[in-house]
């Protein structure tokens, strides 16, 4: 009788580590009466021959090494019909008790159990394969849906014609960040379509991902477009966005553009390495710190601080405050003198910003 791929259900409900130890012991081979068998085959054979598992407590032996008796322990046995016994491990004793309790004591019941077990494994394998296929299909369907959704969003951006909202958004973006990317109109598309029959849930999810606690500018856009002020926390914001409908939107809140001094925004040049090294003109807010002229711009929802003479990006952060904190950490790490030397070396390697070449001319 082949027991290679079965433990007859004995280890099914064990915890992983306990199960691994038990199965290893059951699979270990020993010599029994001149024949090498696995422990589980030996126990099954003995139970089929009518052996009875028993144990005795408080067994102690005299040790010549220590000249005293060993600490009392429990020993486990298999007793044959003629009352001889095999000393076995506790796990093997438990296995023998299990076989008797489950009436796996003859070849008929054991083979029937193995057949049933194999059928259940095949059913489980089929179930796993079906689940895998279903997951793969769901993933593919989701990918196709997202491709379709992004195409729809792109088309909505092209067709968007609510000029009052676009102007309001542009004023906020330029006032808060210093520039405006037309692709950001998708924020208005999401806001306007959270009730859309086909794409509403995706628009809602995009809003939740976009309007996090660090994105104050976009949250301000949401407030002025819908009249609804979102909380500062992600939890509170998500709770509102998960439940709000367009019918709850209020009137547009007028935005008063902040007046900035012209000297705050100046023309600078960012140093770009790809696809080829070059300086690229940009409008940015200027500030002086650590003896250097720097400028700050917004790129992909983050604030980037660059050094003006080299045009190199130095640090970035989700907000202006975070970027400034990261700049301080950098200076604290290298020191003002070390930082200035790195900038001088960068100018030698990559060249001087056109802003300063023009001033020299």
Q: CA 249 → CA 7, 244, 272, 351, distances in Å?
A: 64, 8, 43, 52
pLDDT value of position 361: 34
**Residue-by-residue pLDDT tens, the chain, 361 positions:** 788 889 999 999 999 999 999 999 999 998 888 889 999 999 999 999 999 999 999 888 888 888 888 888 999 999 988 888 989 999 999 999 999 999 999 999 999 999 999 999 999 999 999 999 999 999 999 999 999 999 999 999 999 999 999 999 988 888 877 777 778 899 999 999 999 999 999 999 999 999 988 888 899 999 999 999 999 899 999 999 999 999 999 999 998 876 554 546 888 888 888 778 888 888 888 888 877 888 888 876 788 999 999 989 889 888 888 889 999 999 888 888 888 888 889 888 888 888 887 544 3
pLDDT value at residue 67: 81
- Kindly report the backbone phi and psi dihedral angles of residue 79, in degrees, each rounded to the nearest multiple of 5, phi listed first: -100, 130
pTM for this one? 0.48
- Which strands make up the sheet holding 313-317, listed edge to edge? 265-272, 278-289, 292-299, 302-307, 313-317
- At residue 205, the 3 state secondary structure works out as helix
What phi and psi values does residue 306 have, to the nearest 5 degrees? -125, 155
Distance CA 349, CA 273 (A): 12
Q: Which residues contact 250 (CB under 8 A, 6 or more apart)?
A: 226, 227, 228
**Residue 299, pLDDT score:** 74
pLDDT in the model for residue 300: 67
* Distance (Å, whole) CA 282 – CA 297: 8
Distances 233 to 12, 89, 211, 221, 224 between C-alpha atoms, Å: 47, 59, 10, 17, 19
Helix (H, G, I), strand (E, B) or coil at 284: strand
Residue 103 makes CB contacts below 8 A (sequence gap 6+) with: 109
């Amino acid at each position: 009788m082949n027991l290679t791929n079965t433990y007859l259900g004995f280890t099914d409900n064990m915890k992983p580590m306990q199960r691994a130890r038990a199965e290893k012991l059951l699979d270990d081979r020993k010599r029994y009466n001149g024949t090498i068998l696995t422990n589980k085959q030996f126990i099954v054979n003995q139970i089929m021959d009518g052996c009875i598992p028993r144990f005795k407590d408080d067994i102690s032996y005299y040790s010549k090494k220590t000249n005293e008796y060993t600490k009392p322990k429990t020993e486990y046995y298999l007793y044959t019909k003629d009352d001889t016994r095999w000393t076995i491990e506790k796990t093997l004793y438990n296995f023998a008790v299990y076989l008797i309790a489950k009436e796996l004591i003859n070849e008929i019941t054991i083979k029937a159990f193995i057949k049933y077990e194999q059928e259940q494994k095949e059913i489980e394998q089929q179930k796993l394969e079906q689940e895998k296929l279903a997951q793969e299909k769901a993933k593919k369907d989701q990918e196709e849906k997202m491709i379709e959704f992004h195409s729809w969003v792109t088309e909505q951006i092209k067709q968007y014609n609510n000029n009052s909202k676009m102007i309001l958004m542009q004023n906020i973006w330029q006032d808060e960040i210093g520039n405006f990317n037309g692709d950001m109109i998708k924020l208005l598309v999401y806001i306007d379509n959270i009730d859309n029959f086909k794409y509403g849930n995706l628009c809602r999810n995009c809003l939740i991902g976009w309007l996090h606690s660090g994105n104050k500018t976009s949250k301000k856009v949401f407030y002025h477009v819908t009249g609804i002020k979102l909380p500062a926390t992600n939890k509170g914001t998500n709770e509102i966005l998960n439940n709000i409908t367009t019918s709850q939107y209020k009137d547009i809140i007028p935005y008063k553009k902040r007046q900035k001094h012209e000297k705050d925004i100046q023309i600078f040049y960012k140093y770009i390495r790809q696809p080829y090294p070059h300086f690229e003109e940009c409008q940015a807010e200027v500030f002086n710190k650590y003896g250097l002229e720097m400028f700050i711009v917004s790129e992909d929802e983050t604030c980037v601080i660059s050094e003006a003479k080299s045009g190199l990006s130095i640090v970035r952060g989700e907000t202006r405050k975070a970027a400034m904190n990261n700049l301080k950490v950098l200076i604290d790490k290298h020191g003002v003198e070390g930082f200035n030397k790195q900038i001088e070396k960068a100018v030698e390697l990559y060249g001087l910003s056109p802003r300063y070449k023009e001033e020299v001319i």
